[in-house]
Structure 1
């Protein structure tokens, strides 16, 4: 691409016109460091492409992080074999749906694990626009949310049972992000900044606005991580009831990773702010989770620490079709056929999550062989969508 800062792509194909424009917009910003890295599942986003890794010097772009701050994955490898699931899948799904709120739902009874989270100590320091939402945030801690968030029971190629879920910072993360995105846009307008896209409004390090955003960002990322932990704890209790006579199990491996977030990191010998918008950190030996769509495979990986990707990899399969297009293109019969063998709701509400609306996960994985090593290949047998 003809941009002041290079764009390196692992997509394995030419970007569409609008995708190219979005990548060029980001690469034209003066504070972008070295290059922009695009992961194999890259697709249209807001401001920046989903699947972008953007390293910056002394600035951060709130809309590039996005509104689901800290969205990510958690997975555990259980000691159980697949045969233990025989005849139990539907009951497991129904019990999970009863235990973990999905969509706009929240917990009716608040657990001690939620109220005892240390993050509440700093809540009143967050942006004034969310200070009336503490009770809602407490109730939503340990809930899934909607969209493409999910809970899955999987079996790997060695017949081992895995538990996996995908969620973020819920309403509180969304509201925090919107407050700061609005502030960044207002500042850009006041300064009469010439931006290629209003959604690329940014904060400059050393300013009060930057400090406030960075504080709230870290808080929301911690909330998202804790949200996944609380759901996984309930998930494990359900599985223990069905597969282990109610006795506690000890996970063989636990992974909890963000894929919509920003952190300070050192790359090419310099400290920079790294924004991963739909990308997973893949430093040497980092464990990561790359889910496919409903009815396809997912992968547990370890990073190779590829410097050119800023030690990153893809966060999933990536959409090739909008939700409305998927609903207009496919029928419920198509959805039922494509999710054959998966215990899930089989209704029209989930049609926008049909596997055909996503890229082929095998191709995505082939395009990042230099970024990660596959540790386990999983196939879901139970899927609950938000």
Structure 2
């Protein structure tokens, strides 16, 4: 059985916080207490076992709100999430050395701050996005000033990875089948949209009657022009992130086909967000559910829970647990900051902890070392009430930005 404990917020309007782990620090608990003071939280806040301190709102939290949305809870990597699919290839059919595969993917998929030299996405993908984006930027022209070469940049970034904890992996499951798995979001324009509306919410909060326990928890109320504009923009960014992952997967398949035996994709394909907001029905009401570092886990819904560069990952099936708002963790979760990881570990540590994985092993990715993350097996043990494991994956190649 999984573990759940309840933190009762000590505030006049505090709601309970239901936590599906014992591994949580006091600073994160303090952040959760502040979130629980918001008067528009519906029922309670659910906290996943990969929980850790976040900017504005806690990573690993599921926040149901009535008639309000907190832009900082969604964050700036709007629509960040995972895409995975299984091939009908076995690990024994992969080359003995995976460097050529990794190089082929890196030539097709720009990583870090890089983007495509030419627009790669199809017009059928771009045209509807472009029309909706023009409506958004006509109302908020300031967005265009926040991204260099605005129109070209967002289009050239479809099908690109980004940096930080974003990755592309080749994995093997328990039956030795090959999986392609990737983690990315809405790139530069998603960041711009998130930043713009977070700042707008903070400015509007200065003129609104009512207590906000933290400036980063500033919100838009339903019925206001800013609320409507934010919903329009955030839904656009979430769709953009979805299309970014889909285009990236297409390019990866294109890159590896010449280097592998003929293969087909199986029906097991998943594309899911873990930083997003959408309307859902919970505890008798239609509410806005913000998942900040959590994935939806409705009954029989498939999801992806990745570990770190040197650990296992999981394909899971949701159990639809109402107390988690039908959610589960989005990964292992960091147990230390990037700065601390660079202080504690070096390149040699990274080499040792990623043995057997074809990946970057230089000092610039030490902050992504497996030891900087929680134990994925323990994280999974805490959420047996939320999901069941369908496949266990072990990466053999990892590309980081």
**TM interval, short-chain normalised:** over 0.9
> Which has the larger displacement, 325-334 or 34-43?
325-334
Q: What is the aligned partner in structure 1 of residue 310 from structure 2?
A: 295
2:181 to 141, 160, 164: 164
Q: What is the aligned partner in structure 1 of residue 163 from structure 2?
A: 146
Give the Cα–Cα distance (whole angstroms) in 1 for the partners of residues 125 and 228 of structure 2: 26
Q: Per the alignment, do residues 320 and 379 of structure 1 end up closer, same or farther by CA in structure 2, a change over 3 Å counting?
A: same
1:2 to 5, 8, 26: 8
Query: Is structure 2 residue 248 aligned with structure 1 residue 238?
Result: no
The question of whether the paired residues in 2 share the 8 Å contact of 1:63 and 1:200 is answered with: yes
Q: Per the alignment, do residues 114 and 145 of structure 1 end up closer, same or farther by CA in structure 2, a change over 3 Å counting?
A: farther
TM-score (norm 1): 0.97
The superposition leaves residues 9-34 of structure 1 with CA deviations (integer Å, 9 ceiling, x where unpaired) of 01223x32211110001111000000
Give the Cα–Cα distance (whole angstroms) in 1 for the partners of residues 346 and 46 of structure 2: 36
Backbone CA RMSD of aligned residues? 1.2
Query: Is structure 2 residue 141 aligned with structure 1 residue 128?
Result: yes
2:345 to 308, 330, 333: 330
The ranges of structure 1 where at least 4 consecutive aligned residues each deviate by more than 4 angstroms after the TM superposition are: none
The question of whether the paired residues in 2 share the 8 Å contact of 1:341 and 1:381 is answered with: yes
Q: CA deviation at 1:269?
A: 1.9
Q: CA deviation at 1:252?
A: 3.2
The question of whether the paired residues in 2 share the 8 Å contact of 1:70 and 1:258 is answered with: yes
Q: CA deviation at 1:184?
A: 0.4
The question of whether the paired residues in 2 share the 8 Å contact of 1:115 and 1:138 is answered with: no
Q: Which runs of 5+ in 2 are unaligned?
A: 1-6
Q: What is the aligned partner in structure 2 of residue 11 from structure 1?
A: 21
Give the Cα–Cα distance (whole angstroms) in 2 for the partners of residues 365 and 270 of structure 1: 30
Q: What is the aligned partner in structure 2 of residue 364 from structure 1?
A: 379
2:87 to 66, 78, 87: 78
Q: What is the aligned partner in structure 1 of residue 333 from structure 2?
A: 318
TM-score (norm 2): 0.93
Q: What is the aligned partner in structure 2 of residue 383 from structure 1?
A: 398
Query: Is structure 2 residue 129 aligned with structure 1 residue 119?
Result: yes
Q: Which runs of 5+ in 1 are unaligned?
A: none
The superposition leaves residues 116-140 of structure 1 with CA deviations (integer Å, 9 ceiling, x where unpaired) of 4221111111232223522210011
The superposition leaves residues 358-381 of structure 1 with CA deviations (integer Å, 9 ceiling, x where unpaired) of 000000000000100101000000
Q: Secondary structure at the residue paired with 2:171?
A: strand
Q: What is the aligned partner in structure 2 of residue 51 from structure 1?
A: 60
Give the Cα–Cα distance (whole angstroms) in 2 for the partners of residues 220 and 26 of structure 1: 24
